[in-house]
Structure 1
Amino acid sequence: MQGLHDFVPTHLKAAYINLLLQVGFDTIDFGSFVSPKAIPQMRDTAEVLAQLELGETRSKLLAIVANVRGAETAATHPEISYLGFPFSLSETFQQRNTNSSMAQSMETVKQLLDTCDRSGKRAVIYLSMGFGNPYGDPWSVQLVADWAGRLTAAGASILSLADTTGISQPAQISELLPLLIGNFPETEIGLHLHATAQQRQAKIRAAFEAGCTRFDSALKGFGGCPMAADDLTGNIATEAVLQHLNEHNMLPPLNMEKWQEAMNYSPAIFR
């Protein structure tokens, strides 16, 4: 929702997320503790959290943070299991996204990990621009592996390779994901891909064939990154992921009635 121009009322956000919480997904990325000036849509994340019905869901909650202050605020909420931090492999995008350099953001990661340790939470570090960038900043497979190594050495136990602007190719996914899984066997490696409707099936197939077990998606492919100006490349559509898993007899136990309710409710949010 973060890129939507019109503010979505808090009660509508909560009602939508409450439907998703009943489906049975492992984790719901429900909000962001970030500057309301930078992302006005997320200014009510704490209020949304207060309206979530968590008594009968098995889903865990993840909140995005962009700095130490946001992490410390998020850590005060016992309902949250994961704090997600976007660490860009592009110096230009790190400045655009968090107003800090890669070196400064590495220090933020270390403080985030410490905050998570103290509060009983886990950090999810997104390797933003993980498949290249549109700014001309250096990128290579070795650079991805090197930064993944630095982050795991600092204590990160979950890395999510993120294709922030949808430029990844299936061949890259097939190369990078097994490399990271092999190099860091104690680390959970995930994927956060963006794609056009024409690209997503090939990317989904490549991801699961490469051994992906943690996969981010969004209902109907809504969303994108407002800091990256990728209006045409939304998130991977959850229904496309579910279709792939069903076709390969890998579909987890989900409440598909609640999933359909969420699908039907979504136009109230994404107008």
Structure 2
Amino acid sequence: MSDKVQLVDCPRDAIQGIHSFIPTGKKVAYLQRLIDSGLFDFLDFGSFVSAGAVPQMADSEDVVRAIGGKSATKLIAIIANERGAHTGKKYSAIDYLGYPFSMSETFQRRNTNRSIDEAFDTVKRCQEILDGGPALMIYVSMAFGNPYGDTWDPDIVLGWMEKLSNVGIGKFSIADTTAEASPEQIEQLFGQVRMEFPDAELSIHLHSRPANALSKVEAAYKAGCRIFEGAIMGYGGCPFAQDDLVGNIPSELLINRFGRSGHIAIDLLMDEFQQMLRHEL
């Protein structure tokens, strides 16, 4: 097993629930600083979804055009349907388009207005659309359970991942969308997934209250995870999950834990993130 750890910063997840619109220019400047920092291997920068559903992401096309060409940091954008796939395919700077595929029927309908079976059909159609374009990756949301009482067990996760693998998906983000998982559950499930899908590229997207964040990261690392997703200062969460959002794993925690250094220090990025949030409309 390789000891090399890759890091993903998710400014999209950090700011998508903020109600006041952050000007496009400020987003672009901040994202470019993240890219220039050399701290992150991937950047989840935006989403091509309905502006009515996520107003903060309405300018994602303008953002990716301003960021420009390819860099060492791979770009990820989220889509929810075929229209998003068509939009994302236009931009060569984008490496991956991520589709949120939930293990909870309730959450799949909240998030994409589709059943799980309908979402699977959407994935297949998006795969066809993206042939020759960005790769489609899957966010396995509610992978560790859900707060809605929907049936869950590890076999459901493994079963859907097998079906998705069979239609060509090779990159998965295993997501604890509402911080349901204990460190023990994280280690157990991620270990099972890694064993069942040894050729897949697997990352983990954890939400956690600060007191439990490091123990969850350690559990995933112990289970073989080598790609970790976070957000500066732990901001964010899915606005469709529940009212009381639980934050992301702080990127600065991941950088400190894995000894990552870059051209721009993390404390400067934290300052710039806060300045972006203090924008004047």
Q: Offset of 1:223 from its aligned partner?
A: 0.8
Per the alignment, residue 8 of structure 2 pairs with none
Identity in percent: 42
Match of 1:51 in 2: 66
CA contact (8 A) 1:33 1:63 kept: yes
What do residues 85-137 of structure 1 show as CA deviations (whole Å, max 9, x unaligned)? 10001000000000011011001111122223232x21110111000000110
Deviation of the 1:260 alpha carbon: 3.2
Aligned-residue offset at 1:53: 5.2
Instruction: State the Cα deviation string for residues 184-223 of structure 1 (Å, max 9, x = none).
Output: 1111111111011111011011111111112111011111
Q: Mean Cα displacement is larger for which, 57-66 or 228-237? A: 228-237
Aligned match of 2:226: 213
Deviation at 1:169, TM superposition (A): 0.8
Deviations 1:224-250 (A, max 9, x none): 01001253411110011111112xxxx
Give the aligned partner of residue 46 of structure 2.
Answer: 31
**1:183 and 2:196 correspond:** yes
Can you list the C-alpha shifts for 1:21-43, whole angstroms capped at 9, x where unaligned? 01221111110000001001100
The answer for the alignment partner of 2:168 in structure 1 is: 155
Aligned-partner residue type, residue 263 of structure 2? N
Give the whole-Å Cα distance in 1 for the aligned partners of 2:82 and 2:208: 30
2:130 equivalent among 107, 116, 119: 116
Match 2:254 to one of 235, 241, 246: 241
SS of aligned partner of 1:136: coil
Cα contact 2:68–2:93 (8 A) shared by 1: no
- Select which of 134, 137, 145 maps to 2:150: 137
Corresponding residue number in structure 2 for 1:92 = 106
What runs of 5+ residues in structure 2 fail to find an aligned partner? Answer: 1-14
Distance 2:114 2:139 in 1: 16
Query: What CA distance in whole angstroms lies between the structure 2 residues aligned with 1:70 and 1:91?
Result: 21
1:12–1:268 contact (8 Å) kept in structure 2: no
Could you state the TM-score of these two structures normalised by the residue count of structure 1? 0.93
Amino acid at match of 1:177: F
The structure 1 residue matched to 2:29, chosen from 11, 15, 19, is: 15
TM-score for both structures, normalised by structure 2: 0.90
Give the letter aligned to residue 31 of structure 2.
I
Q: Which amino acid aligns with 2:126?
A: L
**Contact persistence 2:31–2:45 (CA under 8 A):** yes
Question: Would you say how many aligned residue pairs link Structure 1 and Structure 2?
Answer: 263
Q: 107-116 or 17-26, which moves further after superposition? A: 107-116
Aligned amino acid, residue 141 of structure 1: P
* Structure 1 residue runs without a partner (length 5+): none
Three-state SS of the structure 1 residue aligned to 2:17 is coil
Which position in structure 2 is the counterpart of 1:105? 119
In structure 2, the residue corresponding to 1:22 is in which secondary structure? helix
Find 1:60's aligned residue among 60, 71, 74.
Answer: 74
Which residue of structure 2 lines up, in the alignment, with residue 269 of structure 1? 276
SS across alignment from 1:147: helix
Residues of 1 paired with 2:90 and 2:222: CA distance?
39
Distance across 1 between alignment mates of 2:52 and 2:277: 21
Aligned equivalents of 1:77, 1:218: Cα separation in 2: 24
Instruction: State the alpha-carbon separation in 2 of the partners of residues 256 and 47 from structure 1.
Output: 25
Query: Which moves more between the two structures, 229-238 or 74-83?
Result: 229-238
Q: Is the 8 A contact 1:224 1:231 kept in 2?
A: no
Q: Residue 110 of structure 1 aligns to which amino acid in structure 2?
A: K
Contact 1:205–1:244 at 8 Å: present in 2 too? Answer: no
**Bigger RCO of structures 1 and 2 (CA < 8 A, at least 6 apart):** 2
Instruction: Quote how far apart the aligned CAs of 1:148 are.
Output: 1.0
- Work out whether residues 124 and 159 of structure 1, in 8 Å CA contact, stay in contact via their aligned partners in 2: yes
SS at 1:135's partner residue?
Answer: coil
Shift in Å at residue 268 of structure 1? Answer: 2.4
User: Alignment partner for residue 263 of structure 2, among 236, 250, 255?
Assistant: 255
Measure the CA separation in 2 of the matches of 1:269 and 1:108.
35
CA root-mean-square deviation: 1.4
